Chains A and B, each alone.
Chain A
Amino acid sequence: MKTVSETTKRVHAQPWQQPDEQGWFGSYGGQFVPETLMPALAELEAAYREAREDSAFQERLAYLLRTYVGRPTPVTFARRLSEQLGGARIYLKREDLAHSGAHKINNALGQALLAQRMGKRRIVAETGAGQHGVATATACALLGLESVVYMGTVDVARQRPNVFRMRLLGTTVHPVDAGSKTLKDAINEAIRDWVTNVRTTYYLLGSALGPHPYPMMVRDFQSVIGREARQQMLDQVGRLPDTLIACVGGGSNAIGLFSAFIDDEDVRLIGVEAGGLGISAGQHAARFADPVRGRLGVLHGTKSYVLQTQDGQIALTHSISAGLDYASIGPEHALLREIGRASYTYATDAEALAGFQMLSELEGIIPALESAHAVAHAIKLAPQMSSDQIILVNLSGRGDKDLGTVLQALGETEHDLIV
């Protein structure tokens, strides 16, 4: 086993400092938005940089994360899962235990506080799985802000419990019936709302996507996951993990975990995209895995890898998990992949379902279908590793919202579980 001093040694002479002042992570990122929004982005960036340096703001955020969200979330050793797989020891960072059921609250609360500080009383947000919508609704209820959430009608149907939650929390949910009727279209509509109401409205983007400063800001608010996890591994196990695994839709839970370990070069970072029905079938959301359709492009204000047609039209995506069902990926992931610091793979719908079931049965933890993609990759990887090695999986959310989807999927394959 490696010693603490070895594994905590920071290898880089210079710490990871991204993005640059124009919001570029290497050749990814930037600000590709209608001119109407450019002043708003400048205002947002200035406000955020100020808040970041303001100890009163940071203390208030830390206080709420502790007393309201329930942070720090624990790191759990998945003993039975590890034994069953017979390889590396698997630990879980339990973002599923954060208030409102996923890591999304870390960012929603941070940005809602920022909106309040900027004097914006109306919040718009998009949601895919509904976890960011619920987190936004929660933060807005807590702070007394008006909130409007856009959600594709396909997602409304498959994540119904979260729609009810948002409404109970006092949010207006606008179903979006355009395009693929999923996250991409919800973001389109949220941007249109923001363009129209930009003077009074704050756009609370939920992933490490979008125009600068969002990818930076969302990462910073999610970096609490990585900071906690790093310390918890040192405290509980006495060393850092060998491998981190996180699912990647836009990539906020992954970048939140990775960000604290980027300079620990011995720690392998793996992002898991949604493989859907398989890459060759064309029905997936694996931006990095599809060499034909996954190309450099611009979607929703940022330059990154985008699933698209030959003509640059945004491709329709598929995943069993609404939160990963998106055609682009956060720009910082594109850079981490380009320089080889992180690697990206995918898990199919079927593999995610198997991971969902296995974690439920062996650990008593029902993961979100998004997180089940990360679990699925751990299931593949652990047997290839030795028992003195450690995998840390970001369990980004809990699976209550997915019960309907999972039962339906299992019913179709087993013919005896139709609800």
Chain B
Amino acid sequence: MNRKGVERIKIAFGQARAAGRAAFMPYYVVGYPNLASSIDILQTLAQSGADLIEVGVPFSDPVADGPTNQIAAQMALKNGISLADVLEAVHKLRRRAIDIPMVLMGYYNPFLAYGIEALCRDAAAAGIDGIIIPDLPPDVRDGQAMINYCREHGLAFVPLLAPTSTEKRIRIVVQAATGFVYLVSVTGITGARDQLPADLATFVTRVRQFTDMPLAVGFGIATPAHAAQVAQIADGVVVGSALVKLAREEQAVTRIRELATALAGSMRLPLHHTT
């Protein structure tokens, strides 16, 4: 039996590092293009070299997301997907013997409507290991409450940092983090981009000064070439929109498997990082 929650996340980052890789962390939203396909896609991602999966919860007003994830969320909601459905999907994946860490990623209001204590309890029971909420800074009153419930149920609370984060913000955020810290690569919203931001390495280095916790970088990373660059400087690489985009193309599952496999293969660290 695998260990759960924060422990499972720690182990995943540790194993990737031991294998000389950064962790590959695909994001995918439940319910797009429909519930059954999305569960199959999540399973495919898990079996194509993912070290951790970010399970997206659809929301009607995703202000941190670009068009790809907006459309995916809209369609998922049209399909009637609720937070309970997402947890059920996770449970299903666990029953299919998916044992890598799964982290819930979603906006705060659906969590609040569900009840944050109930959410942490039910998410942990379903097999979720951590929670990422892009519109809930850890030092806002509700953030504190969420952190406490996460701790109670053994879940990681994964806060975000951005290139605009000041030293003061970095200190506050890394202090609140468990599992890993999510670094938003760009000053902007999610979505595949042609190139990585020029100041990314500086940003990662700036955060690294304040914590030994794994740093995962996401937003805008679309290709194995991008991922390889990010893997040189970070402990984890998140790819979302580029995968989500493929879901409505022909042979979607095959194409997602191919991209995921290529991304996973691009995670090698520079030699001096390997153990």
Contacts and interface: CB of A to CB of B under 8 A. Distances in A.
Contacts of B70: 178
B246 interface: no
Interface stretch (A221-229, A304-312, A329-337): A304-312
Contact of B113 (A38, A184, A300, A308): A308
B63 A300 contact: yes
A180 to B, nearest CB: 9
Contacts, number: 122
A313 interface: yes
B137 interface: yes
Interface stretch (A29-37, A141-149, A239-247, A276-284): A29-37
Given A24-B141, A295-B113, A40 B164 contact: yes
A299 interface: yes
Contacts of A42: 166
A260 interface: no
Contacts of A195: 63-64, 187-189
B20 interface: no
A196 B187 contact: yes
B16 interface: no
A314 B141 contact: no
Contacts of A22: 140-141
Contacts of B141: 22, 24, 30
B61 A199 contact: no
A197 B188 CA distance: 7
A326 to B, nearest CB: 12
B136 A32 contact: yes
A188 B77 contact: no
A24 B66 CA distance: 30
B165 A35 contact: yes
Contacts of A184: 61
B113 A297 contact: yes
B113 A199 contact: no
A33 B109 contact: no
A314 B115 CA distance: 16
Interface of A (DSSP majority class): mixed
Interface in A274-324: 295-301, 303, 306, 308, 310-314
Interface string B83-123: 10000000000000000000000001111111000000000
A192 interface: yes
A15 interface: no
B164 A313 contact: no
A340 interface: no
Contacts of B64: 34, 36, 192, 195
Interface string A366-407: 000000000000000000000000000000000000000000
Contacts of A298: 108-109, 112, 135, 142
Given A24-B141, A39-B165, A303-B142, A297 B109 contact: yes
Given A34-B160, A36-B162, A195-B188, A188 B112 contact: no
Interface of B (DSSP majority class): loop
B173 interface: yes
A195 B219 CA distance: 13
Interface string B43-77: 00000000000000001111110100010001001
A306 B134 CA distance: 19
A297 B116 CA distance: 12
B153 to A, nearest CB: 20
A66 B64 CA distance: 40
A299 B135 CA distance: 10
Contacts of B142: 30, 32, 298, 303
Contacts of B169: 35, 38-39
Given A37-B164, A179-B61, A303-B142, 10 more contacts: A36-B64, A36-B163, A42-B166, A185-B61, A188-B63, A192-B66, A195-B187, A198-B164, A301-B135, A310-B113
29 contacts: A22-B141, A24-B141, A31-B140, A32-B140, A33-B135, A34-B64, A35-B161, A36-B163, A36-B164, A36-B187, A38-B137, A38-B165, A40-B164, A179-B60, A179-B74, A184-B61, A188-B63, A192-B189, A295-B113, A297-B113, A299-B61, A301-B135, A308-B113, A311-B83, A311-B114, A312-B110, A312-B111, A312-B113, A314-B109
Interface of A: 22, 24, 30-40, 42, 178-179, 184-185, 188, 191-192, 195-199, 295-301, 303, 306, 308, 310-314
